[in-house]
Structure 1
Amino acid sequence: MSIDLPGPIADYVKANARLDVDGMVKPFLTDALFIDNGKRFEGHAAIRKLFEEEVVPVKAIFTPDTLREDNGQVVVEGPAHGDFPGSPLRFTYRFTLVDGAIETLEATI
């Protein structure tokens, strides 16, 4: 299923499919917040470290299959596949976009 994602989310998903850390960080605001199952990562350096230490080593690739808006957020759901226990796991990503960039991303299983 192909869905029409907003630009910064599409850029993030495409970069994630390549496990391209620079590309994954680029759509985020400099002071963005990424909340990963309750753990908070603030700013590019912390988000980059998360990707380098927890996404790339297990080759976690998110494949969105649903899209909706909820209270001003863009909610994207789909499986993440990789070399981790339970793969694939279904994730919900809640994005807050500001000025064409990701301000907040909250990822939950």
Structure 2
Amino acid sequence: MNLPKVITHLVNAQDNFDSTAYSNCFTDTAIVFDEGKTYNGKKEIKNWIEKANTEYQVTMKPLEYSAAKRELKAEVSGNFPGSPLVLTYHYEFEDGLIQSLKIV
């Protein structure tokens, strides 16, 4: 699967539970929308993913990517009810980094 470099880095960071590498995939002013909550900027994004890594140990398996829709479907597995699930990640990019991520 041909993923943008930043998404490949994001998946690798997620699978290694590396919250610093994960947050470095985002712009300084990035926004993440997940489970009805909004996280603004790298610091909040790092804190959010660090907490999720500790609680759920989520790994990602990319299934399908659409460059036109800027959308990744991935199977996520971890310590949470209903695991594994297929989630859709909607991206907006800026200068090779993620400016916006909405997970549904």
| TM-score (norm: length of structure 1) | 0.89
Residue 55 of structure 2 aligns with which residue? Answer: 57
Q: CA deviation at 1:105?
A: 0.5
Distance 1:21 1:9 in 2: 14
Q: Which runs of 5+ in 2 are unaligned?
A: none
Shift of residue 74, structure 1, vs aligned partner? 1.1
Worse overlay, 48-57 or 38-47? 48-57
C-alpha RMSD over aligned residues: 1.2
Show the counterpart of 2:84. 88
Contact 1:37 1:106 in 2 (8 A): no
| Secondary structure class of the residue paired with 1:31 | strand
Choose the corresponding residue for 2:94, options 90, 93, 98.
98
Partners in 1 of 2:50 and 2:80 — Cα distance? 15
Structure (1/2) with the larger helix percentage: 2
Letter in 1 for 2:82: G
1:1-109 paired onto structure 2 within 5 Å: 3-70=1-68, 73-108=69-104
Give the total of aligned pairs. 104
The answer on whether the counterparts of 1:65 and 1:78 sit within 8 Å (CA) in structure 2 is yes
Superposition TM-score, scaled by structure 2 size: 0.93
Q: Is the 8 A contact 1:96 1:103 kept in 2?
A: yes
What SS is found at the alignment partner of 1:63?
A: strand
Over the matched positions of the two proteins, sequence identity in percent amounts to 27
